[in-house]
Each structure stands twice: as C-alpha cells, then as structure tokens.
C-alpha cells in the first residue's frame, strides 16, 4: 500500500533511507548481532533457566479505569495500561501507543511470557481513539487481536514503514493507515507526529527479519511535546532528536528487558536516563516494565535502578501504578508501588 505521510519538518541531519534494500531495513549505524549459537543459548536459558525473581510473587496494583473517568480527565493526562501501552488524552481525544492486551506476548496462546496483571480497562470499554501509534511489530508491542478489535473505533493507525501493510492484511481499512519513514511527520486531529529513529530490529517469525521498520515517536500538541521511545538501544540519535524537537515535557522511555547479551537493542537504566537527558526531557516515565518477563533481571529491578539514578542526577521521574493518571499540567512523582508488592507477599507468606 502507499505510504501516506508528509515531511512537516526538514530532517535534522542528512541520512540514507531506512530501507537499505527492497524489503530490508537496518539501523543508522552498524549493530553487532548475536550469532546462531549464542541466540540459541539465550532461548534455551529463557525457556529452562529463567530466575524466579523475573515474576512478582505478589499482586501488581492496578487502578481500574472507566470510559466515564477518561471522559472527565483533563487534556494531557497520561495512563499506563501495561508494558509499553500508554493512553494519552490530547485535545479532548485519545491516543494509544503499542496496544497489547493479550494474555501472552507471544504468537502462541499456550506459551510465552504471561502478563503479571490485567489491563486497567478492557478493549471494549476503551473510548474511540484518534490514533493508534505503533513503534514496531514485535509481539509485546503489536497485538493482532487488539488491533482487529480497535479497527472500527480508531480514526488512524500510525506505523513505521511495512508495519502498516501487516495491519491491512489483518483487515484494517487501508485509508486509516499511515506509514512513515524516519524523520517523516503527519498531522492527526491537530497533533503533529514525527516518526524518529530508534536502534532496534523487527520480525514476527523465522523468515521476516527486519522486513519492516522500527521507530520512536515525537508528539507535538501546541507548546506540549511528548516523546515515545518504542524499543531501542542507546545511540546518538537521541541527541539529534532532542536538538531538533526538544525540550520534551514528558519522555516515555524503555526501561526493562535489558541484558548484557543484547546491549544494542535495549537500554540499561543508566542509558535510559542519559537518553532522557539527551532528549532534553523534563519528566521521565519509565515503560516496558512491570507486565511481562522478557529478560533475566528481577521484575522490579528496572524501577529500583532508574529511580535511584534519577534521584542521583536530580531528574524528575514519575512511576504511576497501572491505570493511575499522570498529568502534565500538575505532574507528581508518584510512589514506589513495586516495593509494596514484595512486602505484601512476604507478609502474606508469614501469616500463612
């Protein structure tokens, strides 16, 4: 299908197209890839040797949401629904990033990483959406059943190159789909959105590696600016995005599923914080955590580390529980809710 986009701003730097060859995308700089043997070893460890601490022993707190509550929420309210799924309210309308409502982040209903908690609101209860904003096609970011259920209540689907074709194959009206290359922008409902670079990869099977693009997103609503990282390793692109589009009132930054075995495609918390600084961010909201076990670190470690680093560097950070509103007009730090999960589990075990 045709790409529907406009370059509303000139690219901040000259660069080669993201599509290096027909049907094959790559990062702006060379990225080290794990060999077959190492990749096989990682999968084996994931399947049979994942530490117990990767999943919470207590219950993740979730603040239920209703359509009425969302309707009454002021503009520039932000709600984490889980993992990298974030609902934003701008200009009286709703925008949803990387919608994943499935029980497992997997092509299978019987295997793969299972949710720690249910979403704060069901797909049926969600209000009409102005746009669904997609970063790439991995299963923990692109949920087929969710997309199909959202198709009729969503005005536009914004996706990096190639991902839109997947949506159309699933039955989304092609007229609703806009596919963008890095540094291309478009307007939806008065909001200016730009697909910006990320350092990652794509694929949903054994034979479609890097056949679709991956990206981060800039959202501009008048004087308000929000950055959504998608999935990414740390790279110099953050500085270029910050120089061209910053400062950002809020950065929604990947903080989780990291490991020394895949340093180029997911950030360590120290890198997440530096990326936020590179972007000239004011408030940092860590995402990509608290919902699925996609690495070997303890499930709460990303929160512990990014919170300590933010305090050390005097960075404003917010960690709202799933479903709790964060307001750009009246920002609050929130509390360390994940500590209560472990404490509650210990107390319950002692009583039992």
pLDDT tens digits along 271-313: 999 999 999 999 999 999 999 999 999 999 999 999 999 999 9
pLDDT of residue 352: 56
Least Cα distance to 225 among 207, 252, 201, 262 occurs for: 252
Chain centroid to Cα 17, Å, comes to 23
Phi, psi (rounded to 5 degrees) for 97 = -95, 145
pLDDT of residue 7: 46
Q: How far apart are CA 321 and CA 329, in angstroms?
A: 19
Region of residue 288 (left: phi > 0; alpha: psi -120 to 50; beta: else): left
Q: How far apart are CA 179 and CA 161, in angstroms?
A: 5
pLDDT of residue 35: 60
Strands 177-180 and 77-82: unpaired
Q: How far apart are CA 106 and CA 94, in angstroms?
A: 27
Both tokens of 341, joined, read: 């999960």
Least Cα distance to 336 among 113, 120, 310, 257 occurs for: 310
pLDDT of residue 20: 58
pLDDT of residue 207: 87
pLDDT of residue 343: 77
pLDDT of residue 347: 57
What fold does the segment set 61-351 form as a domain?
Metallo-beta-lactamase; Chain A (3.60.15)
Q: How far apart are CA 156 and CA 203, in angstroms?
A: 23
What residues contact 267, with CB distance under 8 A and at least 6 apart? 232, 233, 234, 254, 255, 258, 275
pLDDT of residue 3: 45
> Helical H runs in 65-188?
67-72, 144-150, 163-169
Q: How far apart are CA 135 and CA 189, in angstroms?
A: 20
Residues (pLDDT < 50) of the chain are 1-7, 14
CA angle, 214 then 196 then 184, to 5°:
100
Q: How far apart are CA 127 and CA 147, in angstroms?
A: 14
């Amino acid at each position: 299908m045709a790409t529907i986009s406009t370059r509303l701003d000139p690219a901040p730097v000259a660069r080669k197209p993201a599509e290096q060859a027909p049907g094959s995308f790559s990062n702006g700089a060379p990225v080290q890839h794990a060999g077959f043997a190492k990749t096989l070893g990682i999968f084996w460890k994931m399947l049979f040797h994942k530490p117990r601490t990767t999943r919470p022993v207590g219950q993740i707190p979730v603040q239920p949401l209703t359509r009425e509550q969302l309707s009454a929420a002021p503009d520039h309210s932000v709600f984490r629904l889980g993992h990298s799924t974030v609902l934003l309210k701008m200009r009286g309308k709703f925008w949803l990033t990387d919608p994943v409502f499935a029980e497992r982040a997997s092509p299978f209903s019987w295997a793969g990483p299972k949710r720690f908690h249910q979403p704060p609101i069901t797909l049926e209860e969600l209000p009409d959406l102005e746009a669904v904003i997609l970063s790439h096609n991995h299963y923990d970011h692109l949920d087929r059943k969710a997309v199909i259920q959202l198709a009729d209540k969503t005005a536009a689907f914004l996706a990096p190159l190639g991902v839109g074709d997947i949506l159309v194959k699933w039955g989304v009206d092609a007229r609703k789909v806009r596919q963008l290359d890095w540094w291309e922008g478009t307007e939806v409902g008065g909001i200016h959105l730009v697909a910006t670079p990320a350092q990652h990869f794509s694929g949903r099977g054994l034979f479609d590696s890097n056949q679709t693009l991956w990206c981060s997103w800039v959202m501009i609503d008048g004087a308000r600016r929000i950055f959504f990282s998608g999935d990414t390793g740390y790279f110099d692109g953050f500085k270029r995005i910050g120089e061209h589009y910053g400062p950002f009132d809020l950065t929604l930054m990947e903080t989780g599923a990291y490991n020394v075995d895949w340093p180029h495609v997911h950030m360590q918390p120290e890198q997440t914080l530096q990326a936020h600084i590179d972007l000239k961010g004011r408030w940092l909201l860590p995402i990509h955590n608290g919902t699925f076990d996609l690495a070997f670190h303890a499930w709460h470690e990303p929160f512990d580390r990014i919170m300590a680093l933010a305090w050390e560097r005097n960075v404003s950070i917010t960690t709202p529980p799933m479903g709790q509103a964060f307001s750009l007009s009246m920002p609050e730090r929130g509390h360390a809710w994940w500590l209560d999960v472990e404490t509650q589990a210990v107390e319950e075990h002692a009583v039992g």
